[in-house]
Amino acid sequence: MYKEELAFSAPDVIVDTPMHFCPGCHHGTIHRLVGECLTDLGLVDSTICVGSVGCSVFIYNYLRLDAVESPHGRAAAVATGVKRARPENFVFTYQGDGDLAAIGLSEIIYAANRGERISVVFVNNTVYGMTGGQMAPTTMVGQKTTTCAGGRCQERDGAPLKMAEMLASLEGTAFSARVSVDSIVHLKKAKKALRKAFEVQMQGRGLGFVEFLSACPTNWHMTPLQANERVSQGLTSYFPLGNFKDTDLE
Amino acid sequence: MRTKRILVKGNEAIAMGAMDAGCECYFAYPITPQTDIPEYLSTALVEAGGEFIQAESEVAAANMLLGAAACGKRAMTSSSSPGISLMQEAISYMAGSDLPTVIVNISRGGPGLGNIDPSQGDYYQATRGGGHGDYRTMVLAPSTCQEAYDLTIEAFDLAFAYRNPVLILGDAILGQMKEPIQTWKTRGRPAGEAESWSLSGANGRDPRLLKSLYLSEGALAGHHTHLVSKYEQMHSEVRGEEVLTHDAQLVVVAYGSIARIAKNTIRTLRAEGYRVGLFRPVTLFPYPALALAELAAQGKKFITIEHNTGQMVDDVRLAIRRHADSAFLPVYPGVLPKPEDFETPIRQLMENEPQTEEVRHV
């Protein structure tokens, strides 16, 4: 007789509901890693999640956490206000590349430089996803988007911003890494990095930052498998994976 | 209860009011003519165990305020006109998310960089929401340093009573003028005023969400129903000061510093036998329209005087539209008016003489 066994369960903090993300999008996986790390570190009860604007705006529908929405790009400033108001709580932001690296660049730089005790989950899929695939600050040179139909031109648009490296250069950043979730090996490393970005906040050491390279099949005009492949084969040459600041090692 | 008579600037009176109201978090960016407030609170608030951040911009300061308010803290920011423009995005989100905050605008001349002198050019911005979308902030307009202290304390109470941003609208005259005030409150806030909705980590209860996004069909309309009913309830807080209006043939309508200057004009003209009075709105939203309409129904004439090119006069005309109209005497930003500047236009209006000053009628 066939016996059904639950081999793979999600922690309680993750809401058991269909997500609105497109097939092959990595947001769902990254949401799950966030939920798992919060659970593993016993942070669920004390967490305040600061949402942002973009595809991840509904994070509060998928994670059972106290949450506040922030205006586009302002999550790091809102999280600063939250953390200063409730230093005993765990506070994280979840932001896309348009949100954090374009309109919110000032807010994240200053929050990191002040060494705000917050953790930042930064999802870099090299496009504005929710608005339909426009050029982002992280769009690769040559990559075609709806606002650079001939491909991003470095002379005209500048080079893509390397946020993990940029934030690593700031004194207040306690941990900064770039990870991806396109393979089991990368997933495991990503979870380790995320855990560390959470721990530095718990230890009061400063801002913890993790940049996730993330697939966007819809706006890359690829199948989920092609998009997954692009992460390692097309992005990591410019956006290398690894830890750029780890105060444990200093 | 502490009572102390001290000589302070209007800006300092506001900072002291915030301290005594139990303000726990304050975020700001330097800008003239309000910088005395961050200078005062950067020391006083931190010494009292509160949080102060000199933000990288007014945009960031307003969003830090949003975050602290989401946690139920008594929190404030202050700025002056160009900085308040930068805060409008966050103020719209605070209004949309039912967040209680206090925002001080010690306004200066505009548009653009304008100047750093007094002006009432931000009346429209203050009373019409200011940012995008349909919303209102409550607006309090003190005219003395004492009132600046008192209304700052009240602003926190009102913000939490209605879960809405409350704006204190002053100007460079009020902010920079020194006069004696009586402090009357010891530092502290009402207990439990944010416990039912603020974020503190779910910790066993259902998670809470503070947001302004309502995507599903009809949801935003439902949210507006809630906001409109809140704004209607705010009308019970409406407040205005009347000076010698009972027998007045002509009522001067002015707020803030200009009302105070006009008060002197009225004294002079009364001594000459002119039956002139003053109506000073203290709340600019909600606007004391009913009180003005009652005066208009008695057959009085009206002149609105503002330190701008004509903004509040719209609200005066709306309030009295069934009975009367209001003339308008502008004081352009960049000019400091004296009480005697208002005398001739008022005399001429009362004598039905042709106006020799710039007085506009519809």
Domains and CATH numbers, chain B: 4-236 (3.40.50.970), 239-350 (3.40.50.920)
Residue B357's pLDDT is: 73
What CATH code is carried by the domain that includes residue A181? 3.40.50.970
Banded pLDDT at B150 (limits 50, 70, 90) = very high
Quote the CA–CA distance of A131 and A24 in Å, as a whole number: 18
pLDDT tens readout for residues B95-117: 999 999 999 999 999 999 999 99
Residue B362's pLDDT is: 45
> Over pLDDT 70: what percentage of chain B?
99
Quote the CA–CA distance of B261 and B171 in Å, as a whole number: 13
Chain B neighbors of A56, CB-CB under 8 A: none
Residue B21 φ/ψ, nearest 5 degrees:
-75, -10
Tell me the one-letter amino acid at A243: N
Examine residue A85 and state whether it is found in any structural domain, yes or no: yes
Report whether pLDDT(B300) > 70: yes
Q: Flag if A66 and B207 touch (Cβ within 8 Å).
A: yes
Pick the closest to residue B139 from B98, B183, B177, B105 (CA basis). Answer: B105
> Which letter, b or e, does each residue of A167-183 get, where b requires 16 or more Cβ atoms within 10 Å of its Cβ?
bbebebbbbbbbbbbbe
Examine residue A67 and state whether it is found in any structural domain, yes or no: yes
Average pLDDT of the segment spanning B15-25: 98
Nearest to A74 among B73, B90, B207 (CB): B90
Examine residue A192 and state whether it is found in any structural domain, yes or no: yes
Examine residue A9 and state whether it is found in any structural domain, yes or no: no
Chain A neighbors of B56, CB-CB under 8 A: 106-107, 109-110
Q: Flag if A57 and B213 touch (Cβ within 8 Å).
A: yes
Residues 130-189 of B with CB under 8 A from A: none
User: Is the overall model pTM greater than 0.90, yes or no?
Assistant: yes
Average pLDDT of the segment spanning B342-347: 96
Q: Flag if B203 and A46 touch (Cβ within 8 Å).
A: yes
Residues 6+ apart with CB under 8 A from B53: A80, A84, A114, B27, B61, B64
Examine residue A13 and state whether it is found in any structural domain, yes or no: no
- The overall longest dimension of chain B from CA atoms, in Å, is 74
Report whether pLDDT(B1) > 60: no
Quote the CA–CA distance of B57 and B47 in Å, as a whole number: 24
Mutate which: A17, A82, A113, vs B, most B CBs within 10 A: A82
Chain B neighbors of A59, CB-CB under 8 A: none
Is B90 within 8 Å of chain A by CB? yes
Per-residue pLDDT of chain A (250 residues; tens, 9 = 90+): 788 888 888 999 999 999 999 999 999 999 999 999 999 999 999 999 999 999 999 999 999 999 999 999 999 999 999 999 999 999 999 999 999 999 999 999 999 999 999 999 999 999 999 999 999 999 999 999 999 999 999 999 999 999 999 999 999 999 999 999 999 999 999 999 999 999 999 999 999 999 999 999 999 999 999 999 999 999 999 999 999 999 887 6
Mutate which: B209, B212, B216, vs A, most A CBs within 10 A: B209
Structural domain that includes position A220: 27-249
Chain B neighbors of A82, CB-CB under 8 A: 67-68, 70-71, 199
Quote the CA–CA distance of B29 and A77 in Å, as a whole number: 13
Examine residue A5 and state whether it is found in any structural domain, yes or no: no
Banded pLDDT at B355 (limits 50, 70, 90) = confident
Quote the CA–CA distance of B90 and A14 in Å, as a whole number: 29
**Count of the separate structural domains present in chain A:** 1
Chain A neighbors of B200, CB-CB under 8 A: 48, 66, 86, 89
Eight-state DSSP code of residue A209: E
Residue B360's pLDDT is: 74
Chain A neighbors of B71, CB-CB under 8 A: 48, 81-82, 85-86, 89
Banded pLDDT at B21 (limits 50, 70, 90) = very high
Pick the closest to residue B90 from B30, B132, B45 (CA basis). Answer: B132
Examine residue A15 and state whether it is found in any structural domain, yes or no: no
Mutate which: B195, B199, B200, vs A, most A CBs within 10 A: B199
Q: How far is A144 from chain B (nearest CA, A)?
A: 30
Helix H segments across chain A?
27-40, 59-62, 75-85, 97, 105-113, 154-157, 163-168, 184-202, 217-220, 224-230
Helices (H) and strands (E) in chain B, counts: 12, 15
Examine residue A19 and state whether it is found in any structural domain, yes or no: no
Using beta carbons and an 8 Å cutoff, which residues of A are at the interface with B?
44-48, 50-51, 57, 60, 64-71, 74, 77-86, 89-90, 106-107, 109-110, 114
